[in-house]
Structure 1
Amino acid sequence: MEERTAGTSPGGGGRTGRNLPAAIAVGLGLGALVLGTVYSIKELFLPVVTAAVGVGALELIKAYATRGIRVPAVPVLAGLATMQAAAYWGGPQWLLAAFAIFAFVLLIWRMFSAGTDGYVRDASASVFTLFYPAMLSAFVALLLKEGDGDHRVIIFIAVTVASDIGGYIAGVLFGRHQLTVISPKKTWEGLAGSVVACTAVGAWLVTWLLGGQIWQGALIGALAAVLATVGDLIESMIKRDLGIKDLGSILPGHGGLMDRLDSLVTTLVPVWLLMTLFFG
């Protein structure tokens, strides 16, 4: 999510450049959905993730099409659902196997769906989409499958959201120094706000929910802040390369699903790895 440091919005965002009431309402609704599924029957969270990432993948596929890049939606979505199930009921090995199988399916699919012109371009974009966001998102199933998986998922989401909120507030209030030309509205002050917010939330939740050490939670949070920012920049690079401003508009005040998922999918694997190392 880009920081907004100046300008006005017709949607009522003022300096923020976004419809803040709508963004808050959508955020609260999504939060309620996550908490309601994770802390009731946690397997219900898997179709929620699959649906959200599926929409995000479709947004990417539609964006590719504006540049004549053909990515078949059916095998990508089938691979997404299969990898979620493989990760939850099989583990990392089954997740890797499912990814490899559907990568070959995509290569073969493209072979027989069009001519040789553009094969490398289309096949590369197809496998890329199967990896980002589909395969990366399946690591949430690896978090969820643990005995305390509900807590692990909440911590992962909370530190990533804290990065967005901390960076947004610090960027709006103090942002003066541009972080990178890739995303001109990101600032060093915003990044500092993300790190502070993530570190605090990580330290708090890891000690409270998992009984871990403060330094463990702080490390998870700090890493999440950096990687969430990287995720935002990756999406910005994709949009710049495709020559589009937004990937979608399904969420009022937020944009498309990929605008919410970009930082989550890049944060997920390292957070899963640290939690596995710390808590088994």
Structure 2
Amino acid sequence: MDFKKYKLFLPEYAAVDYDKASDIIVANAASNKSYAVSALAVHGLITSMKDKKLGKIINNIDLIVPDGQPIKWALNSLYNLDLKDRVYGPFLTLKVLEKANTLRLKVYLFGSTSKTIGLFKSFIEKNYPDVILSGIHVDRFREATEEEDLEDIKKINESGAHIVLVGRGCPRQEYWVATHKNKVNSAMMAVGAAFDFHAGVLPQAPEWMQKRGLEWFFRLCQEPKRLWKRYLVTNTLFILEFIGHKFFKRTI
């Protein structure tokens, strides 16, 4: 399926909606193609610009979707696009699971804590009974050794997984899907907070806040000590970058 990509400061975002993105993912998954996906919001975008290691490989990801209203607004403004909505990682996860359920695809869960991944597993079993859960990997919360990584790849491939949902937090999950392309024979989706939200561990912002680009404020209120610096820095840098590109014609 064809789609156009548009560079936003560094990452190249796909101009897709939920249906097209989920169709692309499931089509690649069904044929066990190694395919990397990320739902990249403002924090991930700015991190890719500041973290040279991530910046070098971010565009190895096949499909980067505009997760976050500010991303959508910036793409529409800079490229005169007509994107109707963002492609929010947790909701994209549900769209993919819905289509995977119809096709009885195998899904592997990679990341998060044992509690969260167990609750997420129960959520999938209840709501998508024809999805085959082919494996679970609880995050080590450190990078794997070379031997551990090879064993992880072997387990995923031997499970026959069509889709690997990766919930390791940004930027670890983006780095993982980008560097495991052509190693893991599955569509790999870096979906971050989808694990926590669908497991019921974290509440999601009300829809009216999401549509107005205020989800960051809702999450900040939930976890102020952990997130205040992230949002203060990344949101400010994003605004400055956008102004530079929009009004001072900085090269995109």
Tell whether the structures are fold-level matches, with TM greater than 0.5: no
Higher relative contact order (CA 8 A, sep 6+): 2
Q: Which has the higher helix share?
A: 1
Provide the TM-score with structure 1 as the length reference: 0.22
Larger Rg: 1
